[in-house]
Structure 1
Amino acid sequence: MTRTDKHKPKLNWKKGFFLILALNIAGFLLLISLIFWPAEDVELPSETEKVKQESSEFVVRTSKENLNSLINAYIEHLTENTRHKYRIELEEDVHLIGELPVFSTTVPLSMRFEPEVVENGDIILRQESISLGLLELPNRRIMQYLDRYLPMPDWVIVDPNEEEIYIAITDMDIRSNFELAVESLDLKENNLAFRISVPYETFGIESWKMFP
């Protein structure tokens, strides 16, 4: 065996030892760097970006009979101190029956409307037929009389030009602070439904405490 062959295993062993030592040191330094490396800033959503639920919504279904009683009770209260009376009858359409002053007397009024629910939950009553006693007057003229003489709340708008009545249900001032909208108003199928939004503040509840 030559001198070179005799010392060759010792040189390979030394190289392997230093290689393993270098790898261990590099791994230790990498671990230390990962632990102490400054973390990236994470932007948290602000309070204004959080979605807060301010109310709960319910759908209430009723019948023509119940709604008819409620409407006429409201009309009776509205016209309590006036000489002009009218009422509503919910059939397969909306029938308004009342009297309008003409000269020194009153003349019976009969109007029929087809209700249409607007996307925002209001109602449009589109005029189908109209009569004012035996008088032959243009429909627009009768609608003008209706707007002028029959007491109506601010959220009911009579439009003689379009021969329709806009009922802004969503603008009703309800004492309980509830918000009301029409879900469906199918008189022929007796399918009447309303959406009622109940604000949490009505009950003294703060929404941010309920939904952090």
Structure 2
Amino acid sequence: MNKWKVAFLLLFTLVIVAIASATYLITRPIAETPTPTASKLPDGSHLEVQTTSKDFENMANRLIESSMKTSKIPVKMFVGEDVSLRSTLTVFEMELPITMTFEPTIEDGNLLLKQKSVEVGMLDIPPNTALKLLKDSVDLPKWMVIQPKEEQIYFNLTEMDLPLGEKLKGRVQAKEFNLKENRIILEVIIPAE
């Protein structure tokens, strides 16, 4: 057999293996991610803060950005009539924009985002696969839990340290998240000690 035939067969085999591997990684069964338990909030002063969706969006993006300093892939939150997350995924050296839209609810003071739709470039992929790709690609903060099988993202707000000053960190929980009326109420707890 001449060397060109051998080279072609070798290259053809490598392409088939690469496609099969990528297909397996994308379509393999998704393990269930348990929902974290809400943390017990510390004793201290309670301050109720009413904000707008735009202010919440700015605060959330600052907290996500500061928590993801090691991640190369940016994740941005947009809050309007619903909540959407936008990022980019690198697939076969191509940057694909990804936009996921969610319906927000409050669960034990934490924010639960149930997925409504997903757009990954021109691809038509299932929502749980898009969440799985995001979970595997991005090093998210520990208080942001992606649950692909449940098609949701759980923001464990009660676990998050909220910087209030140079050495002071508070805790936060959601009280109301009404996007139709542009009314978001958060309770900030300033620890007694």
Partner residue, 1:88 = 77
- How far apart are 1:101 and its partner, in Å? 1.1
More strand by percentage: 2
Contact 1:78 1:151 in 2 (8 A): no
Q: How far does the alpha carbon of each residue in 1:75-114 deviate from its partner, in whole angstroms, 9 at most, with x for none?
A: 3334445431221110010011111111111101011000
User: Is the alpha carbon distance of 1:82 and 1:198 closer, same or farther for their aligned partners in structure 2, counting shifts above 3 Å?
Assistant: closer
How many residues were matched structurally?
A: 148
- How far apart are 1:68 and its partner, in Å? 1.2
- How far apart are 1:69 and its partner, in Å? 1.4
Give the TM-score normalised by the residue count of structure 2. Answer: 0.71
Partner residue, 2:65 = 76
Does residue 200 (structure 1) correspond to residue 192 (structure 2)? The answer is yes
* Greater relative CO (CA pairs within 8 A, separation 6+): 2
Does residue 184 (structure 1) correspond to residue 173 (structure 2)? The answer is no
User: Is the alpha carbon distance of 1:86 and 1:199 closer, same or farther for their aligned partners in structure 2, counting shifts above 3 Å?
Assistant: closer
Letter in 2 for 1:184: E
> 1-side partners of 2:112 and 2:88: how far apart?
22
Partner residue, 1:134 = 122
Percent of aligned positions that are identical: 28
- How far apart are 1:63 and its partner, in Å? 1.1
Rg bigger for which structure? 1
Partner residue, 2:151 = 163
Does residue 65 (structure 1) correspond to residue 62 (structure 2)? The answer is no
> 1-side partners of 2:80 and 2:189: how far apart?
28
Partner residue, 2:15 = none
Partner residue, 2:86 = 97
Structure 1: stretches of 5+ with no match in the other structure: 1-52, 202-212
- How far apart are 1:56 and its partner, in Å? 2.4
Letter in 2 for 1:195: E
User: Is the alpha carbon distance of 1:66 and 1:140 closer, same or farther for their aligned partners in structure 2, counting shifts above 3 Å?
Assistant: same
Partner residue, 2:39 = none
More helix by percentage: 1
- How far apart are 1:73 and its partner, in Å? 2.3
Query: Helix, strand or coil: the match of 1:124?
Result: strand
For residue 160 of structure 2, the aligned residue among 172, 178, 184 is 172
Query: Helix, strand or coil: the match of 2:96?
Result: strand
- How far apart are 1:70 and its partner, in Å? 1.5
Contact 2:88 2:98 in 1 (8 A): yes
- How far apart are 1:128 and its partner, in Å? 0.3
> 1-side partners of 2:126 and 2:186: how far apart?
35
CA RMSD of aligned residues (A): 1.8
Q: How far does the alpha carbon of each residue in 1:156-192 deviate from its partner, in whole angstroms, 9 at most, with x for none?
A: 1111111000110000123523221001011111111
Letter in 2 for 1:163: E
